[in-house]
Amino acid sequence: MSLELLLGRDDATTVLTAWPDRPYTLTLPDDSPIGRMVSAQTIRAFLDAGCAPADYVNIFHKGEGLHPARFTVADRVAPSSVELLLNEGCTIQLRELNRWWPPLSAICQGIQVETGYSCYVTAFLTPPGTQGLDYHWDQYLGIVVQLAGTKTWELHEPKVDAPYRDHSMSTNLWQDSWVDEWRNAGPDQTVELAAGDVLVLPRGWVHNPHSRSATETSVHLTFVLKERTPLWVAERLVGSALNDLAFRAVIPPANLDLAQMPKTIDEVRRLLIDYLGRLDPDGLARPVRHAAEHETSHATV
């Protein structure tokens, strides 16, 4: 299993039936090929060779993003900018490496076949004594693999329940007073990652990662597993209604008028209830499973 490469056999088997809801750490398995497939040197080589596409690179300095014009030439990250940015204390993020590095693509595809969850992987380089991103939470589970250097992760209990896609994103709900609250209370967990360490970080957990106490550049990968939810299955069921002529009929503009909209919604609701009541779960099992294994969304929201 591809998950075994990150978690080891026992933990990979466990998470398939008991999905994590609290952060925990482990050590990269001794026989994992991750370090041979991609290393800190590999990541730096993408940048120094000018191979990194600008659309997939973000630069952060003290929590703020830099405009791409600062570091790009002809839609690629300029190698001459890399050392300058790192010397200035900037964190460099290489997004969705699985789209342009085949070994990581194979791992992410394997994880999707095993779990039914689409997966992407992002790399971060953070100079010692600095911090890139600060307090935030994510909408999906992340598996952080430390490749080089050290990084400190200050973790806080979730502020919201089960954030998903663009629902309950930290950027949408943000309140500046929360930062003072978290700092005054202190983290619920503090994790120090060194090379070979792995952090499993469930969605919604607030994290404040930094390398302020590090003595060398931190390089880590984050594998993001985009969990499926009942809404995702419901979308596939509703989507199959396209095969029913009643759902392809035109709604006249007059019926989309605000005054008529309650009636229109009620009529469609009745159609949908009737359609869902007639669905054959066995008949839809294979196409929905196929979608789980193959449907990807490369947007990293």
Between the CA of residue 288 and those of 159, 228, 295, what are the distances in Å? 32, 11, 10
The pTM of the full predicted model, rounded to 2 decimals, is 0.92
Does the pLDDT at position 31 exceed 80? yes
Percent of the chain with pLDDT over 90: 79
Phi/psi for 142 (5° steps) reads: -120, 140
Per-residue pLDDT tens digits for 138-193: 999 999 999 999 999 999 999 999 999 999 999 889 999 999 999 999 999 999 99
Percent of the chain with pLDDT over 70: 98
Per-residue pLDDT tens digits for 204-221: 999 999 999 999 999 999
Does the pLDDT at position 300 exceed 50? no
Task: Please report the pLDDT score of residue 301 as a whole number.
Answer: 42
Per-residue pLDDT tens digits for 252-269: 999 999 999 999 999 999
Does the pLDDT at position 1 exceed 80? no
Considering the chain, what is the average pLDDT of its residues? Answer: 93
Question: Which CATH class name applies to 2-227?
Answer: mainly beta
Task: Please report the pLDDT score of residue 293 as a whole number.
Answer: 96
For the segment 294-298, the average pLDDT, to the nearest whole number, is 77
pLDDT bucket at 61, cuts 50 / 70 / 90: confident
Task: Please report the pLDDT score of residue 53 as a whole number.
Answer: 86
Tell me where in the chain the CATH 2.60.120.650 domain(s) lie: 2-227
Beta strands in 139-203 (DSSP E): 141-148, 150-156, 189-194, 197-201
Between the CA of residue 274 and those of 126, 263, 287, what are the distances in Å? 55, 17, 21
Quick check: 110 and 37 in contact, CB under 8 A? no
Amino acid identity, residue 110? G
Closest CA to 198 of 147, 258, 241: 147
3-state SS assignment for residue 275: helix
Does the pLDDT at position 104 exceed 90? yes
